[in-house]
Amino acid sequence: MAELTLYSYWRSSAAYRVRIALNLKGLAYRQVPVHLVRDGGEQLAPAYQQLNPQGLLPLLVDSGSGGDEVKIAQSLAIIEYLDEVFPVPALLPADPAQRAQVRALAMHIACEVHPLNNLRVLNYLSSELGITDDAKSEWYQHWVHTGLKAVEQGLAVFAGKLSLGQRPGYLEACLIPQVYNARRFNCDLNAYPRILAMTARCEALEAFSKAAPEVQPDAT
């Protein structure tokens, strides 16, 4: 029987993705909070760095699926691991071309958009480069809008459906946390009707509402 532990932070977009994926799979898991701000960042503490030398969140520890304990960093690697070890329900389409399209959009969000507006980048802009809050907000919104414009166009292939037809999966697990962040930083999303429609459908589902930042046990 799987024993899954997720090292997480309530407002981490990457951890949010994995919480969604775990919920979509119906998998039970234990959360261990790692506060990204408190005490200079608990992810930088030696005890956590021994577990994950990358010093990032999330980290999944699987102590029961395959015999030996497995530690996996990086949210997309974790989600794909979950889809391979617990294949039902699938988070990716069965058709190779459709699967590639979903991966391309999800990776665009996770690898092109999110890294430019995550906490450590924004903190560096302020603390090391002396960027003002207004300029930092302009930076954030520029890269979010640049990325979401491409996602909006990419969603046209789903013709108003979710990435798995009537079910969400890998793509939505990446999209909804990015939309959450965009709203948090007051980005106007009215130019993205496909994104907003997909987000509204997902946010009504328990797998997403239970993964939302505000309802996590460490939400402070």
pLDDT (tens digit, 9 = 90+) per residue, 115-130?
Answer: 777 777 777 777 778 7
Confidence label for 90 from pLDDT (cuts 50, 70 and 90):
very high
Q: Where do we find the tokens 């079910």? A: 167
Q: Is the dihedral of CA 10, 178, 108, 124 positive or negative?
A: negative
Phi, psi values for residue 196, rounded to 5°: -65, -40
Instruction: Determine the Cα–Cα distance for residues 20 and 32; give it in Å rounded to an integer.
Output: 16
Average the pLDDT over 24-45 and give the result: 86
Residue 1 has pLDDT above 70, yes or no: no
Domains and CATH numbers, the chain: 4-89 (3.40.30.10), 96-207 (1.20.1050.10)
| Contacts of 93 by beta carbon, 8 Å cutoff, 6+ apart | 99, 102, 163, 164, 169
Q: What is the pLDDT of residues 194-215, one digit of tens each?
A: 999 999 999 999 999 999 999 9
- pTM (2 decimals)? 0.91
